[in-house]
Structure 1
Amino acid sequence: MGRRLPPLNSLRVFEAAGRHLSFTQAGEELHVTQAAVSHQIRVLEEWLGVLLFQRLKNGLKLTEEGKAYLEPLTEVFDKMAEATDQLINREEVKTLNISTLSSFASIWLVPRLKSFRDQYPDLDVRVVTIDQEEDLLSQGTVDVDIRYGDGRWQHVHARKFLTENIYPVCSPALLEGSNPLKKLEDLKHHTLLHDVGVMGWKEWLEEAGVEGIDPSRGPGFTHSHLVIQAAINGEGVALGRGALVADALARGDLVAPFGVKIPCSYSYYVVSNKNASDQPKIRAFAHWLLNEAEKFISMKGRMGS
């Protein structure tokens, strides 16, 4: 029995117009005129016998039927594009493009990437560092984004792989001298180092129930690895994010002088577009990342950190 399909060119035009909610932008994508797009939409609506768009004074709006029709069509066209790319590039070296924050990349991810390369020697990894607000994933620039947040992102596939606590860390040298760090109240004698953009000293001290310390004083840095380096240099006490200070603690470059740790509301997620999450290279990287996180958590448990 043959498939019952409407004109395929009209389907392609409708999918583009539905994504953009604009006949003009759909025409630019498909290199046809706005009039040609409008004609193909009318052909499709007549063939289906339903109205797909509401033509409003200030633009277009999908009807309920149009919304229901658009989603599976977009998924089908995405799969067709992916299959075509795989066929054309089947002889090329595969590349996995990853974006993440610079501190996480330099401290946690890059030192562990060799094991991924050893497991997947035919897959070349490209790591791009970004600011918190950048989204290269939605732009199609990268395949995977490692994000630090609450996991509430729309239209993506996000899987948590690592949580962390936040606690004071410093150079071992600060445990000695005229004002050694023995209890939290001793922080008033030391410089506080600030990691701009994450839990600050004010919130941390309030959570820990510590008073009598001015949380506004001390230098601040926009990247966590700079704060950690300043702490290693003995310039003051930093609020260490567990995932980023564990290796420095293991080496003895840093110490955690107190036993108080505050859970962070943010976690680390491996994020991909929904229509790409089942790609073999993305599944492989996500699986590897989860295993590395499990080994890291086990290591921290043995260290007692």
Structure 2
Amino acid sequence: MLAPRRLPSLNGIRAFEAAARTGSFVAAAAELNVTPAAISRLVRLLELRLGIALFARHANRLVPTAAGLAYQAGLTRILDDAARLTGQVVAMAGAKVVTVGVGPTFAVRWLIPRLLDLQRQEPEIEVRVVTGGQTVPFSDGWSCGIRLGDGNWPGLEATPLFPADLLPVCAPAMAARIGDIPALARETLIRVAHAPDDWSRWLAAMGAAGIRAGGPVFDYYGQALQAALDGIGVAMGVRPYIDDDLAAGRLVAPFPRSVSKDMRWYLVHHAGREAEPGFAAFRRWLIAACKFRANGLDR
């Protein structure tokens, strides 16, 4: 038989955590919709229960003790987890809002063009696309994220979607004059700031490690690909970013060989999301869409 938990008053815990986090009884009272006197009383009772001072009280300010700082840090994490878990449980009641965190290029070049298919298959799902998924930490406010990496994100479940392959691309007119690697070296090789090794990886695989890319640098793949579309130079494309442009003939790959980036695209989310109807439907659709692409049937 498990021993009963020995916990102090949860009201006292909430009052202390809010006061320590906000720095005052007044701010904590406003957050918890009670009076400052009530916050002060609850914190005092908690200190008596624990047998230790959590605050050093001064005339015009509230300073947590060392014990108070350690207690607040742990409590804030626990209460944040409880709030997130509560949101997940409420979402299980049937809400079908899915917030997807993705990088801006993935959103524009792969996800958004396929949302119409999702709407046709799952008309009750409301998808909210939030960009920044590749450059900011995973947000607890997101249902899921689509990220490029090695699949190791502590605290998150990761489902592999498809590999990231490197392939140079350019406008059709430019591709017509690039017949070999020396001809490629005479063109402007467009770079992406956060992926400085893409060109060297592909060139090394082609036996041309001595060539150095020295063209303009852009923050995102989407910007680099737009520059290629405009005829500025050759961009290093990453699948699936380039698939639609290649299929439509807007971009051309002068060389047929692609090289693995040694990363994959993953769907990442907190454990337990699978029980939410909206997320479960989005996940099924996404995995099917990725398999569709892998079989060469994607548009």
Aligned residues: 281
1: CA distance between counterparts of 2:232 and 2:137?
34
Q: Deviation of residue 292 (structure 1)?
A: 0.5
Q: Does 1:100 align with 2:102?
A: yes
Identify if the C-alpha distance between structure 1 residues 264 and 15 changes in structure 2 by more than 3 Å, giving closer, same or farther.
farther
Identify if the C-alpha distance between structure 1 residues 75 and 103 changes in structure 2 by more than 3 Å, giving closer, same or farther.
closer
1: CA distance between counterparts of 2:122 and 2:210?
54
2: CA distance between counterparts of 1:135 and 1:19?
24
Partner of 1:155: 155
Q: What does 1:103-118 correspond to in 2, within 5 Å? A: 103-118=105-120
Three-state SS of the structure 2 residue aligned to 1:165 is strand
2: CA distance between counterparts of 1:24 and 1:187?
61
2: CA distance between counterparts of 1:36 and 1:158?
45
Measured on the aligned residues, the alpha-carbon RMSD in Å equals 4.1
Asked whether the 8 Å contact 2:96–2:279 carries over to 1, the reply is no
Amino acid at match of 1:159: T
Asked whether the 8 Å contact 1:21–1:61 carries over to 2, the reply is no
Q: What does 1:106-255 correspond to in 2, within 5 Å? A: 106-130=108-132, 132-135=134-137, 137-138=139-140, 140=141, 142-176=142-176, 180-198=177-195, 199-216=197-214, 218-255=215-252
Asked whether the 8 Å contact 1:100–1:130 carries over to 2, the reply is yes
Asked whether the 8 Å contact 2:198–2:261 carries over to 1, the reply is no
2: CA distance between counterparts of 1:165 and 1:16?
52
Asked whether the 8 Å contact 1:208–1:262 carries over to 2, the reply is no
Q: Deviation of residue 104 (structure 1)?
A: 0.8
Give aligned-pair identity as a percent: 27
Three-state SS of the structure 2 residue aligned to 1:122 is coil
Partner of 1:294: 291
Asked whether the 8 Å contact 1:192–1:237 carries over to 2, the reply is yes
Q: Deviation of residue 151 (structure 1)?
A: 2.6
Asked whether the 8 Å contact 1:22–1:59 carries over to 2, the reply is no
Three-state SS of the structure 2 residue aligned to 1:255 is coil
- Any idea what the Cα deviations from partners look like across 1:145-186, whole Å, max 9, x if unmatched? 22222332222222221212102112232243xxx3222232
Q: Does 1:283 align with 2:257?
A: no
2: CA distance between counterparts of 1:19 and 1:261?
54
TM-score (norm 2): 0.73
2: CA distance between counterparts of 1:159 and 1:41?
44
Q: Deviation of residue 130 (structure 1)?
A: 2.2
Three-state SS of the structure 1 residue aligned to 2:242 is helix
1: CA distance between counterparts of 2:285 and 2:107?
15
1: CA distance between counterparts of 2:258 and 2:16?
52
Identify if the C-alpha distance between structure 1 residues 244 and 44 changes in structure 2 by more than 3 Å, giving closer, same or farther.
farther
Partner of 2:66: 57
Q: Deviation of residue 41 (structure 1)?
A: 4.8
User: Structure 1: 5+ residue runs without aligned partners?
Assistant: none
Asked whether the 8 Å contact 1:146–1:268 carries over to 2, the reply is yes
Partner of 1:265: 262
Three-state SS of the structure 2 residue aligned to 1:163 is strand
2: CA distance between counterparts of 1:16 and 1:134?
31
Identify if the C-alpha distance between structure 1 residues 98 and 80 changes in structure 2 by more than 3 Å, giving closer, same or farther.
closer
Asked whether the 8 Å contact 1:95–1:125 carries over to 2, the reply is yes
User: Structure 2: 5+ residue runs without aligned partners?
Assistant: 55-63
TM-score (norm 1): 0.72
Identify if the C-alpha distance between structure 1 residues 227 and 20 changes in structure 2 by more than 3 Å, giving closer, same or farther.
farther
2: CA distance between counterparts of 1:213 and 1:281?
49
Identify if the C-alpha distance between structure 1 residues 6 and 266 changes in structure 2 by more than 3 Å, giving closer, same or farther.
same
